[in-house]
Structure 1
């Protein structure tokens, strides 16, 4: 990868490519190289524990529901079922409604579903 990047930088200098075009070429080369690699796979998955699941949940909830709304649903609970973390917020006392929920694949961190109950 490093040799490829250096080569592309030399091409940039000699052909006066724009920086954005050079960056695009480097990105395409990096993606091409990853196709032939299996990559690292942690034995316990990329989401090995409740704290990691909750951190991911908050990261995906906040842009959707707003930081203030999600903060009001703390503390959060995460439970593991059949290889998926189910993370939910807590409904504040005296409040009617629902909470944010997300289901995350333990092995690869993929978001299976995201919703808010009523």
Structure 2
């Protein structure tokens, strides 16, 4: 009986959290990527399996917010390097990856 009560409380709390995030437009505003640090960590997690350890040669990674809705994270090209840098666009509200590329 205690487990059932606990499960019901958890479900109610989760339901409250979801509905409390619904904005005026009826869409859910989770804001899963709230800051530059989070955006950068997500970018690293996406880039590492694609580009390998060499991605760390492009540090520091620069994260900027575009149109208040999309985080753009870019690698930095060192002055003695040739080529381009990694680039990713991450939707702020739900962490959806919109674009991943490496410019040359």
RMSD between superposed Cα atoms in Å: 2.4
Q: Does residue 100 in structure 1 map to residue 73 in structure 2?
A: no
Q: TM-score, normalised by structure 2?
A: 0.71
| Matched residue count | 84
Aligned residue for 1:80?
A: 65
Which structure would you say has the larger Rg? 1
Superposed CA offset, 1:79-104 (max 9, x none) = 00121000000012211100000000
Superposed CA offset, 1:39-88 (max 9, x none) = 64596700000000000000000000002x11100000000012100000
Superposed CA offset, 1:2-23 (max 9, x none) = 76xxxxxxxxxxxxxxxxxxxx
Q: Distance in 1 between matches of 2:46 and 2:16?
A: 26
Aligned residue for 1:51?
A: 37
Stretches of structure 1 lacking an aligned partner (at least 5 in a row): 4-36
Q: TM-score, normalised by structure 1?
A: 0.63
Stretches of structure 2 lacking an aligned partner (at least 5 in a row): 5-14, 22-27
